[in-house]
Amino acid sequence: MKDRGTAVVMVAPTVIVVALVFIYPLVVSLWTSLQYKVLSQPHLTRFYGLGNYRWLLNEPRFWDAFGRSMVFLVVTVAISMTLGMLVALLLDHYLSHRRWLKALYLVPMVVTPVVVGIQWRFLLNAQFGVLTWILQVLHLPIGGEWLVTPLGAMFWVIIVDVWYYTPTVILLFGAGLEAIPSEIRDAARVDGATAWQRTRLIFLPMLKPVLGVILLIRTIGGLRAFDTIVVITDGGPGRATEVVNLLAYRYGLQYFDVGKATAIGWVMLLVALVLTVLYVRFLRVTASAA
């Protein structure tokens, strides 16, 4: 093709930017994870082989954080997917033509994560939080002071994550529902299928690939939870909400132990990859759909 030159010029900036600021740090961080490297003690830097990874596997604090991440992940993904599917199905059933009303359900998606954290701390403040007050009126002992107990902190961190990410499920699952041809819906209705039967026997099987993609996106998102947790609990009380991502941040940018921090990052990438492969195997998710 004679305008191959133009093509190269047009694609070059993307390739250069991605190589410089994406691939370069990846290579460097892999190298860093193989070194003993603490930024505050530069003279001790040396090649360390798999030392950081060996340390990691024997470090209880890592396994505690890993366990918390898994609990957080499973609970938040389960609740947000169930709730999101339910809302999307009901919206599709009762309000399928009110586009602007459906858009209102997506609003939490755009809120800045740090602001999400601030707003929930404000709502749950022990002295004057409006949610604390509402929960008191309802005689539910889960607001205010409970936030500073280990169980309460984890509970609310999960609830906030559900609040924040259920709209993503509503959006994607709703998009899948909308894509089901009206002929199929009409045919099912003529045959006398109830709404529940249509959902269970037609919609859910047809949307299995979409559900796989949503599950994948939510899983990866759940593993990366950081901003809201930092603002709401900062990993506390004690280390009750210190998830892996927060631990990596602490090691890297508070203790400056960048060798260990990057090792944590690479191990978690491996975990994400394993989960992805499992999903692809069992749910036939394709990358192009994600």
Shortest Å, Cβ 142 to other proteins: 15
Which single residue is written with the structure tokens 């809302």?
A: 87
Q: Which two tokens stand for residue 91?
A: 């919206």
Burial class (CB in 10 A: 0-12, 13-18, 19+), 193: middle
258 close to 32: Cβ distance less than 8 angstroms: yes
Which position among 29, 36, 45, 148 is part of the footprint of other proteins (CB under 8 A)? 29
- Closer to other proteins by Cβ: residue 58 or 127: 127
Interhelix angle for 60-94 vs 208-223, to 10°? 140
Binding-site string for other proteins from residue 221 to residue 260, where x marks contact by CB under 8 A and - marks none: x-xx-xx--xx-------------x--xx--xx----x--
Which position among 50, 78, 130, 140 is part of the footprint of other proteins (CB under 8 A)? 130
Give residues 39-68 in contact with other proteins (rule: CB under 8 A).
none
Give residues 168-227 in contact with other proteins (rule: CB under 8 A).
171-172, 174-175, 179, 192, 195, 213, 217, 220-221, 223-224, 226-227
Answer yes or no whether residue 282 interacts with other proteins by CB under 8 A: no
Please name the residues in contact with 39: beta carbons below 8 A apart, sequence gap of 6 or more: 256, 258
Answer yes or no whether residue 91 interacts with other proteins by CB under 8 A: yes
Which position among 61, 93, 200, 284 is part of the footprint of other proteins (CB under 8 A)? 93
Reported as half-sphere exposure (CB side, CA atoms, 13 A), residue 29 has a value of 17
DSSP bridge partners of 36: 46
